[in-house]
Chains A and B, each alone.
Chain A
Amino acid sequence: MKATERSTIATAFQEISKRAVAHVRELKQNKPYILVGAATCGRAAGALDVLKTFREEIKKRNLDCPVIEVGCMGHCYAEPIVIIGKPGYPPVCYGYVNPVIAERLVNEFILGENPCPEFVIGALEANDILPSFQDFPRAKYEQKIILKNCGHIDPTDIEQYIAAGGYTGLAKAIDMPPEAIINEIKKSGLRGRGGAGFPAGRKWQYGRDAKGTTKYIICNADEGDPGAFVDRAILESDPHSVIEGLIIAGYAVGARYGYIYVRAEYPLAVERVGIALKQSKKLKLSGSNILGSNFNFDIRIFQGSGAFVCGEATAMANSIEGKAGTPRPRPPRMTTSGLFGKPTVVNNVKTLAYVPQIIKNGASWFIKTGTKDSPGTAVFALAGKIVNTGMVEVPMGTTLRQIIFDVGSGIPNKKLFKAVQIGGPSGGCLPEASLDLPVDFDSLQNAGAIMGSGGMVICDEDDCMVEIARYFLEFTQRESCGKCTFCRLGTRQMLEILTDFTQGKGKLEDIDNLEKLAEEVKAGSLCGLGQTAPNPILTTLRYFRNEYEEHIKLGKCPALMCQHLIAYYILPDKCERSCDACIGSCTVEAITPNKKRIKVIDQEKCVKCGTCLKACPPQYNAIVKLSPPSEVPK
């Protein structure tokens, strides 16, 4: 690249950057501002009503206070989340905000001087007035790289992204020779965050070295695992970071076109990425002659129709080509013959989001975080039986115990931890003994799970491991495309056996059968979906075999979860004569009082819906689940 061109790129970007900084200063400096977290998680909790209330209240009072719609901060347990900044105060984060609280915050904090500490989760900076996030146990572990902007900037305003340091990486990248970028990514040791952890630099190198002039980059945003929502949150909260990464990848590999393959079930992500693309094109950050250079890169959004298997790269290529989403055999590699038969690099949303920052700050900055073989951070979506559901970003090498108990604040309702399911249907269930495992790509793989999509579902003592395995198998067999024998028929065979277990119809030899079948499906399937589908079974068999055996030998579900293996029973000495709560709640009239007005469940009629257990007032707590059902006294 010529020196003149180099200077034009830097100058062009400086102009853009200057304008962006001025815009944000104009927006936020020397006045109060309100950020409302309105990603899908926030909206589900009522963020749009909160947003409307703030806007109305501000307008009514004719205040100079911008109300900005932002994405998700990761504290999904406390949605809707609001951040208020006011001169003289640190920015303060409020949780569980509703329209009434919103009105109060305007009256008392924006207009008055009362920051309403009763609604505060934490201030963003350490200070003398309010508790801050730095005081939380999770602050010790959290380190945000790709979630840095999420919940702090307006995803529909490119200038806020630029003012936060965005697109600096791109401007730097197109001043570098493509080979140097690939080398930087290689040096950073960045591994693909889509699941398998393949080195991103090496993949780019394959793509660059591949013969052919037309090449493609695909951003894989087909996040379909139950319990995973990190990709969605990033696309909704900080779409430009992914777009910037995609453009840098395109430049490094020598591609002219990029695709973002996003599920149609993520309408908000689709909308925000669409807006972001238009804005980047307008500022000449994508499209033709990016930043005045001779590099052209156009990005299209492709909406997937909700097939889980399309997250597999070759099936994704088929899907974009307009064919049925079924995988192709490999070799050839995607980087040799992928989309439309051309060399194609497929990277996950998270992988691409790291790229701009690695280019901007250098590989040596990136490898300071994390472990030797898995540098950087790990992003997990915490779900299930955990206090702080939401997203966390911690350095690789943090232990599961720290993530679950310190960052996630442990298990609610004083229940005991039982297992953590990592990596969705392709991952595995790890027991308490694995809690001190430092999390990285290789340690998880050795333990039988995978990093996968970053879904982490926490199970407590009330969760049955056989049922968990059955649940995931039901998912994979339904989502199997049906092309290859092992996945189409093998997952169904395994599901049949597991269903028998949960219904008390299993035989002991079925466990061995299941294990053998699982190994065969793992070895024999065509694509990653089938090859990893048995993981939930194999790990639960490895760590919780006794639970399987209890189901079969004793007809007992130790977690009292499998409906066929439990019965509801009213403890006569606890049942209160004057209370009829359970009778009214029973949907099938299975509960009647006896002569002493103690309530009795007719086991023949009972459909085990569990409503009575919830209806029984806590001061009596008279209804229990028993397993096996024969435990019920005659």
Chain B
Amino acid sequence: MKMVNLTIDGKKIKARPGEKLLWAALDNGIYIPNLCAIKDKPEPNAACRLCWVEIEGNKEPVTACTIEVADGMVVNIRGQNALALARAGFELLMASHALDCAHCSANGVCELQKIAKTLKCSLKPRRLRLLLRDLSVDDSNPLFTLDPNKCVLCGRCVWECRKSKEKAVLGFAHRGFDRVLTTFGDEPIEERCMNCSTCVEVCPTGALAFKEGKKSADIA
């Protein structure tokens, strides 16, 4: 297969034709902030709106997850306009995220912390007001808890959970600001969960977290 040559931040890389720019960058060790990207999903979610990049010849920044690589493409992931949009999106997310790193099991491995570091911005929103929803935590499962207040609605867990029909426990409900990660009829996760706990492994934040002393190996 003929590979496509492109340049990201001065680094020359090769990518398979038809591949999305985000994955070409990530596979070559170039980190672009992202939350909703799922490699084996045929269509990108394009929901988190964080992977903004600037492409030479384009006036406006674009999301790297929706753009296919092209030969000779020159990409700048630190452009001012791209950074401004990424930061704006991130601050919006953080303004509705129950921030409590010190008591969060994801502390240290949380992707929100990683993104804040990359974008050089604070975890606490400075400009926007806090809009928290105070949703109830589901701790019915013996292995893990679901705290929707920490959820960024990236959809990774939903994708994993719905890969097989027998599982399909998690999903999104409601719309607009009320959109929430939940189960059918808001029943406790434990009702149908097969305890594969893949959802916990893919969660970028502490929204789905193992209970103390549990880990994926504990699957019965």
Contacts and interface: CB of A to CB of B under 8 A. Distances in A.
A524 B49 contact: yes
Nearest to A510: B129
Given A328-B43, A489-B92, A496-B131, A482 B177 contact: yes
A112 interface: no
Given A484-B49, A489-B93, A520 B179 contact: no
A520 B128 CA distance: 13
B68 to A, nearest CB: 8
A417 B46 CA distance: 43
Interface string A291-311: 000000000000000010100
A524 B127 contact: no
Interface in B31-59: 43-50, 52
B176 A481 contact: yes
Contacts of B47: 483-485, 526
A22 interface: no
A624 interface: no
A30 interface: no
Interface in B115-159: 127-129, 131, 153
A127 interface: no
| Listed residue (A477, A490, A525) with the most chain B CB atoms within 10 angstroms of its CB | A490
Interface in A481-523: 481-486, 488-493, 496, 513, 516-517, 520, 523
A492 B48 contact: no
A537 to B, nearest CB: 15
B174 interface: yes
B88 A482 contact: no
B177 A489 contact: yes
B59 to A, nearest CB: 11
Contacts of A330: 66
A493 B129 contact: yes
A88 B145 CA distance: 82
Interface string B76-113: 00000000110011001101100000000000000000
Contact of A485 (B89, B127, B176): B89
A329 interface: yes
B131 A493 contact: yes
B178 interface: yes
Contacts of B49: 484-486, 524-526
A524 B85 contact: yes
B184 interface: no
B89 A331 contact: no
Given A477-B177, A520-B85, A524-B49, A486 B131 contact: no
B111 to A, nearest CB: 14
A493 B95 contact: yes
A480 interface: yes
B186 interface: no
Contacts of A328: 43, 46
A327 to B, nearest CB: 9
B179 A482 contact: yes
B175 interface: yes
Nearest to A500: B129
Nearest to B131: A492
A553 interface: no
A492 B177 contact: yes
A318 B2 CA distance: 34
A328 to B, nearest CB: 6
B92 A490 contact: yes
Given A488-B177, A489-B131, A496-B131, A482 B153 contact: yes
A184 interface: no
A211 interface: no
Nearest to A476: B176
Given A329-B44, A493-B95, A481 B175 contact: yes
A523 B85 contact: yes
Nearest to B127: A513
Contact of B176 (A479, A520, A523): A479
B63 interface: yes
Given A489-B95, A493-B129, A480 B46 contact: no
Contact of A488 (B50, B52, B85, B176): B176
Interface in B149-205: 153, 172, 174-179
B71 interface: no
B9 interface: no
Contacts of B175: 307, 309, 479-482
Given A488-B176, A493-B131, A329 B63 contact: yes
Contact of A329 (B43, B50, B127, B176): B43
B27 interface: no
B216 to A, nearest CB: 29
Interface of B: 43-50, 52, 60-61, 63, 65-66, 68, 84-85, 88-89, 92-93, 95-96, 127-129, 131, 153, 172, 174-179
Given A491-B177, A496-B131, A524-B89, 6 more contacts: A330-B66, A477-B176, A479-B175, A486-B49, A493-B95, A516-B127
Interface of A: 307, 309, 324, 328-331, 477-486, 488-493, 496, 513, 516-517, 520, 523-526
The list of the 7 closest CB pairs from A to B, nearest first, reads A482-B179, A329-B46, A489-B92, A520-B88, A480-B176, A329-B66, A492-B177
24 contacts: A329-B63, A330-B66, A331-B68, A478-B176, A480-B177, A481-B176, A482-B174, A484-B46, A485-B49, A486-B89, A488-B177, A489-B92, A491-B176, A493-B92, A493-B128, A493-B129, A493-B131, A517-B88, A517-B128, A520-B85, A520-B88, A523-B60, A526-B47, A526-B49
